[in-house]
Structure 1
Amino acid sequence: MHAKDFINPMLPVLKSTDTVGEALNWMEEYRIGQLPLIHEQEYQGLISHDILLDADEDLPLLALQPEFEDAFANVNQHIFEILKIVQQHDLQAVVVLDEEQSFVGTISVQELLNQFSKNLGSQEIGAVLEIAVENRSYSLSEISRLIESNNVKIISSYYTSGTGLEDSKDILTLKLNQQDISRVMATLERFEYDIVGAYNFEEITSPDKERYDMLMKYLNL
């Protein structure tokens, strides 16, 4: 999952001789709010939709000041690094350059997020668990072992740092391959893991709920 794998070759490239009107038409056609300005394979920066709206449609892009000339990805940068660039600069498009800093292509941020969502397993049927942990002191291998002891597997996981406040905790989010996770939750709570959220799971109904409540009472003895 590197930058070169997410390039959309269909996205147009702007030249300094293109007009504001032409750039606006391309952005509307491809439903993207930013496009790269390139001169002889050299990246000049991004032209944004908002800037174009304030300019005359016949004005050449040469007369405008592009933005984010220092915001780009190298061909072999990982998707996590690309997402960091997107977040830092609030981008809708990410330009990809090679080792010689020559233009290679453009990534649509919307397409990137869609692909990232698929890689996280969001399209798969299964529950999502949020577990509060402290200062990365948790063991993912131990949590995985406890979950798999109930014949459930982890499809994907990601870690979210807390706010830094005294009572804040980091959150480990797990996507599982099943919706019936009552036994998983019971096992984790038995080992004193703090489950702060559970989503897209099968509700426990009677008489299953009665058996679940009895199990939880037993585990809390």
Structure 2
Amino acid sequence: MLAIELAANTIPPVTTTDSIQLAIDRMAEFKVRHLPVVNDQLFIGLLAEADITDPDHSLPISSLQQLHVNTFVYEDKHVYDAVRMFYEHNLTIVPVLGPNKTYDGVINQYAMNAYFGEITAIAQPGGIIVLEVSNRENSMSQMAQIVESDNAQILSSYARNFPDSTRMEVTLKLNKADISSINAAFLRYGYDVKATFNHNDDDDDSMNRYESFMNYLNM
């Protein structure tokens, strides 16, 4: 998925001639700590709440000492580049730009969380298996073969590296609620199964919790 597919104009940008107070009010209205500064559809920079230090909020935004001019992603970049921006700069929005830094919109945290909810198959019932493997043992084809031999499929997977270690954690979301036999198969193949979670439609309220969380972020 490209960054432009998650971009929206739900948060109006400010201009360099707008007052600092207007920017503060808009941040409060949309519950963000950052705003894009745009003049005639050209991205000037990203304004951070923490950079507003002048006590005179009637001054224009152009009077501020710092705007983050390189904090954005281009529209044709993968959405993971936006994730990196969120993570590295602790952002609440990421501007998305077209050619010549024309402003397309922003990706907000709600859109990003909804995207991760989709790609991790959180809304679909099924079990979760957490494995700990060495880097050399991280063979997704073998893991898929073990799962598929039990008439199941991997809906999503992700890996987490441990600092200063050759081992990693792999989490598999499956389309089968009863994963006891799959768990046993991983153990037979010598995998270190760290945890299992059995979820189904009857006793799993993860989707309800997820939707409640999304509504909270969008308040």
TM-score relative to the length of structure 1: 0.82
CA deviation profile, 1:25-69 (whole Å, cap 9, x unmatched): 212222222111122333222112233476333121111134431
Equivalent residue of 1:100, what SS? Answer: helix
Within 2, Cα distance between the matches of 1:123 and 1:101? 36
Q: Which residue pairs with 1:176 in the alignment?
A: 174
Structure 1 pair 77/193, CA: closer, same or farther in 2 (3 Å)?
Answer: same
Q: Which residue pairs with 1:186 in the alignment?
A: 184
Structure 1 pair 138/50, CA: closer, same or farther in 2 (3 Å)?
Answer: closer
Q: Which moved more, 1:62-71 or 1:85-94?
A: 62-71
1:36 paired with 2:36, answer yes
Within 1, Cα distance between the matches of 2:14 and 2:51? 14
Equivalent residue of 1:197, what SS? Answer: strand
Q: Which moved more, 1:106-115 or 1:1-10?
A: 106-115
Larger radius of gyration: 1
The runs of at least 4 consecutive aligned structure 1 residues that moved more than 6 Å come to: none
Equivalent residue of 2:137, what SS? Answer: coil
- How far the C-alpha of 1:199 sits from its partner, in A, is 2.6
CA deviation profile, 1:67-99 (whole Å, cap 9, x unmatched): 431121111111222211221111111111123
**Gap runs ≥5 in structure 2:** 201-219
Within 1, Cα distance between the matches of 2:7 and 2:54? 29
Equivalent residue of 1:144, what SS? Answer: helix
Within 2, Cα distance between the matches of 1:119 and 1:65? 40
Q: Is the 8 A contact 2:8 2:104 kept in 1?
A: no
Structure 1 pair 200/54, CA: closer, same or farther in 2 (3 Å)?
Answer: farther
Within 1, Cα distance between the matches of 2:38 and 2:111? 22
Q: CA RMSD in A?
A: 1.9
Identity in percent: 28
Equivalent residue of 1:195, what SS? Answer: strand
Q: Which residue pairs with 2:7 in the alignment?
A: 7
**Gap runs ≥5 in structure 1:** 203-221
CA deviation profile, 1:173-210 (whole Å, cap 9, x unmatched): 111112211001001111111111223448xxxxxxxx
Q: Is the 8 A contact 1:3 1:73 kept in 2?
A: yes
- How far the C-alpha of 1:148 sits from its partner, in A, is 1.4
- How far the C-alpha of 1:19 sits from its partner, in A, is 1.1
Within 2, Cα distance between the matches of 1:75 and 1:136? 35
CA deviation profile, 1:1-34 (whole Å, cap 9, x unmatched): 1110111212111101111221122122222221
Matches within 5 A, 1:133-148: 133-148=133-148
| Number of residue-to-residue matches in the alignment | 200
